[in-house]
Amino acid sequence: MSSYEITRRPRRLRQNPAMRELVAETRLAPSDLILPLFAADGIDARREIPSMPGQYQHTLDSLKAIGHEALEAGVRCVDLFGVPLEEDKDAEGSVGWAEDGVLNRALREMRAEFGNDLLIMADTCLDEFTDHGHCGAVGTDRFGNEVVLNDDTLELYARMAVAQAEAGAHIVSPSGMMDGQVAVIRDALDAAGHRDVAIMAYSAKYASAFFGPFRDAVGSSLTGDRRTYQQDPANARESLLEAQLDIEEGADLVMVKPALPYLDILSQIAEISPVPVAAYQVSGEYAMLQAAGRNGWIDLDATMMESLLSIKRAGADQILTYFAIDAARALHD
């Protein structure tokens, strides 16, 4: 057997599981994970989302049940989205701040069930609730083109955030990519006496094709696209500006969405951010791994964990993922 005088042998630190764990540079924990959940109106049993195997539109009872599963696995935060009845949608998305709207009912039920043991985050956006599917109020510009009205939408976000805080949300998460949304929401929350409610800003949210299955999950009414307000996938520096503005406006956490196609963006924001940085492993990322795993083309459990570890390694402090419970259980095992 040949032997050479090699001083540096990096393989010394890879030779067995104990050694690899001892020197691991990145560690993933169940408490890093946030589970997105869908509360749907008008159903009497949870309903699987066809394009997202293993994920469901929930009743209030099944929502609480999955919350207990998450908590038992060590996941300490869930992010709630509302799926209203089609007839409850309107141009402004007013069911989004209605006291009896599906999302606010779900927030109240979950906060009553879990108190402070499980953090309840609310999606603060109108796309699920508008009959046109856009993230805000729609009007026309001076040339007669249909546009999403930035400043008119801010007033609606403020109403929605206050309603969510009053329903029990620990964290509100404005995801509409309107300029100034964090400042307006922070002012509204503080004025209403909700100074302790945190804001997770969707700071770098791209106009991504990876969102496709999510639109099935929430029954989106969107036709067209959101490229006039979500970011162009070609741009990187713009994300740093968006994150800096959100931090200056009072964001307690910032987020990059999607995660895997934008790890470079995540890494850059993590380097400059004085607040925690989250990343969202979105529906399309989840669906691709599930499809390949169920077809036997990849090892689903191994690629699930590798993908999450890569997001953590790139700089995410928190990861929103539909794999949260499965990954947390795998980490325990």
The residue among 317, 203, 306 whose CA lies nearest residue 260 is: 306
The residue among 89, 125, 117, 120 whose CA lies nearest residue 105 is: 120
Q: Is 257 a catalytic residue?
A: yes
- SS3 assignment for the chain: CCCCCCCCCHHHHHCCHHHHHHCCCCCCCHHHEEEEEEEECCCCCCEECCCCCCCEEECHHHHHHHHHHHHHHCCCEEEEEEECCHHHCECCCHHHCCCCCHHHHHHHHHHHHHCCCCEEEEEECCCCCECCCCCCCEEECCCCCEEECHHHHHHHHHHHHHHHHHHCCCEEEECCCCCCHHHHHHHHHHHCCCCCCEEEEEEEEECCHHHHHHHHHCCCCCCCCCCCCCECCCCCHHHHHHHHHHHHHCCCEEEEECCHHHHHHHHHHHHHCCCCEEEEECHHHHHHHHHHHHCCCCCHHHHHHHHHHHHHHCCCCEEEECCHHHHHHHHHC
Contact 282, 216 (CB under 8 A): no
Q: Is 205 a catalytic residue?
A: yes
Contact 161, 188 (CB under 8 A): yes
Contact 185, 163 (CB under 8 A): no
Active-site hit among 64, 89, 205, 312: 205
Annotated catalytic sites, by residue?
A: 205, 257
